[in-house]
Every structure is written in structure tokens, then in C-alpha cells.
Amino acid sequence: MTENQAVFALMPLAIASCAFAGIWWSARTSARKVDTKTRYWIVRLHRFRAWMRSHRPSVKPRPVRVALAGMPPKLISGTISTAGRCPALLFYFPVLLHCLRLALRHGGLTLPSVANPNIVCGGFRGESKMSYLDQIPPRLQHWVAPSLRLTVHAAQHEPRQLTQLTQMISRDGLTFPLVAKPDIGSQGFGVRLVRGAGDLQRYLEGFPKNEDVILQRYLDWEGEAGVHYLRRPNDHEGRVFSLGFRCFPHVVGDGCSRLSKLIEEDPRTRRMARRHSRALSAEDLRRVPAKGETVRLSLLGSVRTGGLYYDGSAYITPALAARFDEIARAMPDFHFGRFDIRFRSIEALGRGEDFQIIEVNGASAEAIHIWDPEQSVAETYRVLFEQFRLLYEIGAQNRDRGHRPIGLAGYLALQWRESRLLRRYPESG
């Protein structure tokens, strides 16, 4: 979800942020009552800072063309949307108020938990990622990246157990490199590329015991997108609500600059320069990539790791919408969620071909195009409000069909368990 924060878990935090804002405003009001002499020096200090800013050399961000293989090109000069610069607690506070209003209107605070009745909590918190993929029937499994789920035991990383595990991986038709990721998780926590048995052993050593991990075929296609889908329970057909493209953090070589300099100068990667530098060796940072060479800085394309999202609504075609409607309707009672996919080319995706589903997210899934740097704050809130309006409507209709929403205590227990697991997962790649 850039994801989406848990609405109900934000309630105490939102109240705390309001209290902090009140204290800050009170302090500012008191500051205006200082005596004339103190005010004089404050004004002089502000004027000096303004003079320093006016004489500082202005550095305009250099527009950068994003053109990963198979992806629609994008020219950007910013790295993050205006909404993305706002602290999460403050940004989601209006969304929380909107959800409370919807809860009063429809008579249920946890109605999103039955948006997808066959998924734990509707996919809002604590659900198994593999449970989505398993619900796609065999006749449509060729659209899904081959995956294997296993439970991590205390002795699994020992040589004998590891040999048995690699044999099981081979029997399932998987080969290294593989993507290892938690079965319960969000925002890419604990997701890592394992290139061989040694990497897998180290990953399992740091993984919480008696928890499930997914091993998935690594797709080297550079095209990645989030296809947000919804269908009301009484409708025969659904629709693609949003299409957002996701770019993993990367730089393009110019044939003369070191990788460290490319990271510092690129407007997309500069704000995450410290993170990228920690993930790379000193030798890699000194390397001079060839002109036109794309250097990938992270496996993940999430905002948390410095990825870039941009709007792809212009590329939604009838064939694409029909393909995802076919897949979603084949899943039992799936009404609301986002398909995260890798694709070979935008032309093939428009025909509903040459893509693989790497993950499905349920009720908590956001339409990721809202984090496009060119998206206005007003449009971001409009889309979020519309998304939650539809989510509560779907939940209310499923409740009327006999599905029972989860209790607040049950929801908070799932939230606590997932949050605890996120802190225990290995570092993501």
C-alpha cells in the first residue's frame, strides 16, 4: 500500500497529533507577546536568514526521463508528491474522519472486513498473501508468478534440511534466483532476492520461526504496475478503478560519473541516497556505469525505498479491464483489491497479455497512482474518499448478504500481530 495505514489504528495517533498541533499553536501565540526588544532581534534574525537564502546559488532540479524497458516514458523533475511530503498521521486524519462518517451512515465500523468475505478481515489486516493466489483457479494460474509457501522451523537452515528444501523447490519447478517474502506483511518489509541456497539459508536464519514465507519466481521484467479492481456484489461485471505504474529506484549511467555521484544528482534517488549507499558496497559506489546503463538500486519499488509511482489511467483498455475482471470474478467473492503485476511491455499489457501477478492486496489496498508527483492534494483526497466510499458500500452489501464483519477487538488483534511481525522480519533488499 504505499501504502495505506490502518484507519482504526490511527485514531489515538491522530488525537495525539491534534494535541501536539494545539501545543505548537499555543507556543506561537505566546511568542507574539514577547517584549519589543526581543521582537526586534527576532525580526532581524528572520531578515538575515532571508538575505542568506537570496544569495545562495539556486540549483534547479534537472528533469529526468524515466524509461524502463516496457514502461511508458515519464519526464519528472520532482521525486515525491505534495501529499507524500505530509506526515502520515496528519495526511490520513481527514481520511479517518471520512471513514467514521461512512461507518455511521452504513451502521458498521469494521465493514471493510467483509469486502472480500473469503479473505481474513477482507484483506484489511493480517491476511495471508498466498491465500489470494491460491483462490485463482488452475485454468488462470498461468497469469500468476509460480510460488511456494513454507513454514520456517528452527532447524530449517541446517545443511540436511536445506538440501531437502532445495529439492522441494526444484520439484515445484522453481529455480534460483527467487524472491523470498513474508506470507503476512505489507510495504515490502522482509522482501529479498535470494540468488542461491546460501542466500536462502541466511534469510531463513533471520526469519521468525513458525511463520510462513513465500518463495516466488523472480521476474526480470522492468514493467511493474498496480491494477486496482472493484465490483459491487450485485454487479455482473467489475471495473479497473485505477492503474498506477511503479518504478524501482534506479539511475542511468553517463559513462563518466561514479555511481555515488549519479545517486546524489538524480532527483528521484537523492532523498534516499543514504539508504542506497548503505545497501551498496564501496566498490559498487566507485564504479562508473556505462552510458545508458540502468543500475537498479533496490529490488522493491515501494515509496518506502524511494520508488516512483505515476498515473497510468490513459493506458486502461477494454482488453486489460476484461482480463482482470475475468481473474477477479473467478476468485470466490473477491470484490475489492489491487493486483500487483510485472509485465513485458505496455503494448502487451494493453492487450491483456504478457503479465504475471506477483501479489494481490485486499481491502487495505490503495490506488497507487495517487502518489504521482504531478497529482494535486485535492485529487489525491478525492480518489481516497471515493475509494473508501465504495469499500464501505461493498462491505454493507456483503453484510446484508449474511456475512458478519469482524469485531473491533479481533481487528486490533490482527493489527497488533502484523505490526509485531513487521519488526521481526529480515531487512528487505
- pLDDT tens sequence across 398-417: 999 999 999 999 999 999 99
Q: Is the model's pLDDT at 60 over the cut of 70?
A: no
Q: Tell me the pLDDT tens digit for each residue of 240-254.
A: 999 999 998 888 888
pTM: 0.83
Q: Is the model's pLDDT at 282 over the cut of 90?
A: no
Give the residue from 82, 7, 56 showing the smallest Cα distance to 370: 82
Residue 196 and residue 181: Cα distance in Å, rounded?
A: 15
| Contact of 171 with 150, CB cutoff 8 Å | no
Q: Tell me the pLDDT tens digit for each residue of 323-375.
A: 999 999 999 999 999 999 999 999 999 999 999 999 999 999 999 999 998 89
The dihedral through the CA atoms of 421, 340, 64, 370 has a sign that is: negative
Residue 374 and residue 352: Cα distance in Å, rounded?
A: 27
Over the chain, what is the mean pLDDT? 85
Q: Look at residue 182 in the predicted model and tell me its pLDDT.
A: 97
Q: Calculate the CA 266 to chain-centre distance.
A: 22
Give the residue from 402, 412, 397 showing the smallest Cα distance to 106: 397
- pLDDT above 90 as % of the chain: 61
Q: Look at residue 162 in the predicted model and tell me its pLDDT.
A: 81
Residue, of 274 and 417, whose pLDDT is higher: 417
Q: Look at residue 83 in the predicted model and tell me its pLDDT.
A: 83
Q: Look at residue 21 in the predicted model and tell me its pLDDT.
A: 47
The stretch 277-289 carries a mean pLDDT of 88
Q: Look at residue 85 in the predicted model and tell me its pLDDT.
A: 81
Residue 198 carries which side chain, given as an amino acid letter? Answer: G
Q: Is the model's pLDDT at 73 over the cut of 90?
A: no
Residue 129 and residue 140: Cα distance in Å, rounded?
A: 17
Q: What is the 3-state secondary structure (H, E, C) of the chain?
A: CCCCCCCCCHHHHHHHHHHHHHHHHHHHHHHCCCCHHHHHHHHHHHHHHHHHHHCCCCCCCCCEEECCCCCCCEEECCCCCHHHHCCHHHHHHHHHHHHHHHHHHHCCCCHHHHCCCCCHHHHCCCCCHHHHHHCCCHHHHHHECCEEEEECCCCCCCHHHHHHHHHHHHHCCCCCCEEEEECCCCCCCCCEEECCHHHHHHHHHCCCCCCEEEEEECCCCCEEEEEEEECCCCCCCCEEEEEEEEECCEEECCCCCCHHHHHHHCCCCHHHHHHHHHHCCHHHHHCCCCCCCEEECCCCCCHHHCCEEEECHHHCCHHHHHHHHHHHHHCCCCCEEEEEEEECCHHHHHCCCCEEEEEEECCCCCCHHHHCCCCCHHHHHHHHHHHHHHHHHHHHHHHHCCCCCCCHHHHHHHHHHHHHHHHHCCCCC
| Contact of 110 with 412, CB cutoff 8 Å | no
Residue 242 and residue 310: Cα distance in Å, rounded?
A: 11
Q: Tell me the pLDDT tens digit for each residue of 77-118.
A: 666 778 878 888 899 999 999 999 999 999 999 999 999 999
The stretch 129-146 carries a mean pLDDT of 97
